[in-house]
Amino acid sequence: MGDHQETGWKSVAEIGGSISRPADVPSAIRARRATKQFKPDPLPPGALDTLIELTTAAPSSFNIQDWRIVVVQDPAQKAALAAAAYNQPQITTAPVSFVFAADAKAWSAQHLEPIFAEARKRGAWPDRVIEYYTNAIPASQEALGAAKQREYAVKDAMLAAMCLMLAAASIGLDSAPMNGWVEDEVKKVIGAGDDPSIAIATVVSVGFGAGGLGDPGRLPREHTVFVDRLR
Ligand SMILES: Cc1cc2nc3c(=O)[nH]c(=O)nc-3n(C[C@H](O)[C@H](O)[C@H](O)COP(=O)(O)O)c2cc1C
């Protein structure tokens, strides 16, 4: 991660490879930059597990966790993924890239069963809630229709991708989100073939950055933030 002077927090390297002192959320948000190129260094020990844990802690509609995250590290898979993404250097240079696929049919009974079981075990969802969800989730999703089902699944996957980027920043790693890929090609690479229920939300590469474009800044708030009404 470029310059730590401003935020005052330390990179993984600076704290001796330990990831026990993560940056706070505001610092991680401010420090994150989209990286274009990564160093060949692997992730520090334990980092991948931490990233996966924090990524999959993201919220999702009805907690259906409809992201399907493919962690690409194998050199041949990396090369294939890069080819599906216009050979963007983020993928060719990063030690790991996460493909955020979204399952637009993740609300079927077979997918809901383990979600209900876990929430019941934890005492989070009482039986009456599970009973309600058993009907309400499929009913609401069916009413959405195919295009919105896909959109809803992609929304959830994007939230998980943002969690990944902030988790990476919090432990001194850089990330690169990407839209620049050919969906059908990425689906083939991850083994989803032409399954119409699988959409690709984004691809995020993670590692130690070796340069990007710097902070492009943000528009003044009056362009993007409104009080009570847009118009
Ligand atoms: C959904 C999404 C898709 C993006 N796709 C690409 C991409 O394909 N290639 C690329 O070089 N940068 C890509 N970017 C990076 C943006 O250009 C970058 O986030 C933006 O310029 C703001 O810079 P910052 O992330 O450092 O604040 C993408 C960013 C987002 C959020």
| pLDDT tens digits along 151-167 | 999 999 999 999 999 99
Q: What are phi and psi of 155, to 5 degrees?
A: -60, -50
Instruction: Give the start-to-end residue ranges of the domains of the chain.
Output: 13-105+151-211
Can you read off the two tokens belonging to residue 184?
A: 């059908």
Q: What does the angle CA 216 – CA 220 – CA 224 come to, to the nearest 5 degrees?
A: 100
Query: What fold, for 13-105+151-211?
Result: NADH Oxidase (3.40.109)
125 in Cβ contact with 23 (< 8 Å): no
Portion of the chain with pLDDT greater than 90, in percent: 88
Specify the pLDDT at position 4. 39
How many angstroms is it from 217 CA to the middle of ligand 1?
Answer: 13
In which residue are the tokens 């902070």 written?
215
Residue 191: what residue type? G
SS3 207: strand
Q: Which atom of ligand 1 lies nearest, measured to the CA of 178?
A: 5
Specify the pLDDT at position 212. 79
Distances (CA, A) of 73 to 48, 100, 134, 164: 11, 14, 37, 16
Q: Name residues contacting ligand 1 (CB within 6 A).
A: 33-34, 36, 88, 177-180, 202, 215-216
Q: Which atom of ligand 1 lies nearest, measured to the CA of 202?
A: 1
How many angstroms is it from 226 CA to the middle of ligand 1?
Answer: 24
Tens digits of residue pLDDT in 186-199: 999 999 999 999 99
pTM of the model: 0.92
